Chain A
Amino acid sequence: MPSILHMIADASTYLTWGWLSVSVPNLIVILLMILVFILAIVIPFPHDGNDTDDQGSTK
């Protein structure tokens, strides 16, 4: 039988600052998004050294 008490017990932790309120799982996802974005533009991308001077000459 469904029970509201069960849902109260099951809810995640919420962090609240005034009108701003975010669940811990959502906060983790949002922070991860920002972190992965920053890492994506900061972490060097490997060059494989097969650069050409004009298009198509490796074909």
Chain B
Amino acid sequence: MAVSEKQKTIEREQWKGRTRRYDILQEGVIAGIVVAILTVGLAVVFSSPDEPALTFKSWAADAPDDLYATTVKELAGTSDSAEYGPPYNNGSEGVSIGPIAPQKWMGVQQPVDPVNDFVIIPLSNQEQPAKVAAALAIWKAATPDQQAAWAEAYDTALNDPEGADGDVTAVPEGDYGPVPDLATGLVGMAASGALDGILPNPGQFYNENNTKQILFMGDGGYLDDAGTAAHLQGNEWGMMNGIGKYPGQQWLAPFSFWYQLPIFNSEDETGLAATLTANADLYIMAIIGLLTLIAVFLPFIPGLRAIPRVIPLHKLIWRSYYRRG
């Protein structure tokens, strides 16, 4: 829409028309008092959420079979962490959009080796019962191929949906080496509380990095079930949901929206839906990046920047000004 030269001049130059007396500092002080009162009022009436963190000890107490099965997956290299890829390891190439693969390009910047970091090293840093100590010795003396063979065999047997299906007592006889004893040892270590202390930074005094703990816990069903119980899963608008009865991050609704679409939640194994679902995080980030650029550069986008003229809410906002003219 053409804008007159007079209008452009008025917009660009210092306002020469009618003014009113106005106290900018007073407005700021009044606003500050209003917001302070609102904040204190809301805090006093509603408080804020503080759900205690899950621990390996609580995992061993609440869901020991899940911890056991997850430990086996770590040893077998079939856990989500083991197959995550950069920045943690080279278990996979990570997500990509065609040839665009920034996850891979950035490389392994935060090395995590689930077999050793989650299981072997913690077990080695505490005195274990005789059976577990012996299992550790056998494991360490074996070749990597032998270790993998034992662990993969046990993982397959334990998680066979037509066989044991997670029930450790129903696993058929097989050549599993020290793997069952290692898993039992780790669950015992978690139940005692020692794993929470030792896993972060074995043998060291300080720690501030919780990556290993989060990755290990996320590999199992325990953290995931807690997320579901708290209604925080990505495909149920979890990104914007708050915890408990509290409001969450409503401003993330446009971001959370994309994770609800069926095409990013497909069970297909091949085809476009499968590709989009497998790489959903990067596709959705790309969409959000594009929408963000559109929003930031809106003043330069014809059509979009004309919407306020086409839908003239401004006539309401400035109605007293238009009337006086």
Contacts and interface: CB of A to CB of B under 8 A. Distances in A.
User: Do chains A and B make direct contact within the complex (CB under 8 angstroms)?
Assistant: yes
Given A12-B245, A41-B317, A4 B229 contact: yes
A47 B241 contact: no
B246 interface: yes
Interface of A: 1-5, 7-8, 10-12, 14, 19-23, 25-26, 28-30, 33, 41-42, 44-45, 47-48, 50-56, 58
B15 A21 contact: no
B313 A41 contact: yes
B241 A7 contact: no
A7, A10, A19, A21 — most chain B CB neighbours (10 Å): A7
A44 B237 CA distance: 37
CB-CB nearest 10 A-B residue pairs: A50-B21, A25-B247, A12-B245, A7-B229, A8-B229, A2-B52, A29-B247, A7-B230, A10-B244, A4-B229
Contacts of A3: 58, 62
Contact of A4 (B225, B231, B242): B225
Nearest to B20: A51
Contact of B320 (A5, A47, A54): A47
B240 interface: yes
A2 B51 CA distance: 8
Q: Size band of the B side of the interface?
A: 35 or more
Given A2-B53, A53-B18, A55-B15, A23 B229 contact: no
B55 interface: yes
B260 interface: yes
B316 interface: yes
B248 interface: yes
B54 interface: yes
A57 B54 CA distance: 66
B226 interface: yes
Given A11-B229, A12-B245, A47-B20, 14 more contacts: A2-B51, A2-B53, A3-B62, A4-B229, A19-B260, A19-B262, A23-B242, A23-B248, A25-B245, A41-B313, A41-B317, A44-B320, A51-B18, A52-B20
Contact of A1 (B61, B245, B316, B317): B61
A52 B54 contact: no
Given A4-B225, A12-B244, A14-B231, A30 B250 contact: yes
A19, A47, A58 — most chain B CB neighbours (10 Å): A19
23 contacts: A1-B62, A2-B51, A2-B52, A2-B54, A3-B58, A4-B226, A4-B229, A5-B229, A11-B231, A11-B245, A20-B260, A22-B237, A23-B248, A25-B242, A30-B253, A33-B250, A45-B320, A48-B21, A51-B18, A54-B16, A54-B19, A55-B19, A58-B21
A8 B231 CA distance: 9
Interface in B286-325: 313, 316-317, 320
B250 A26 contact: yes
Contacts of B245: 10-12, 25
B38 to A, nearest CB: 12
B236 interface: yes
Contacts of A28: 247
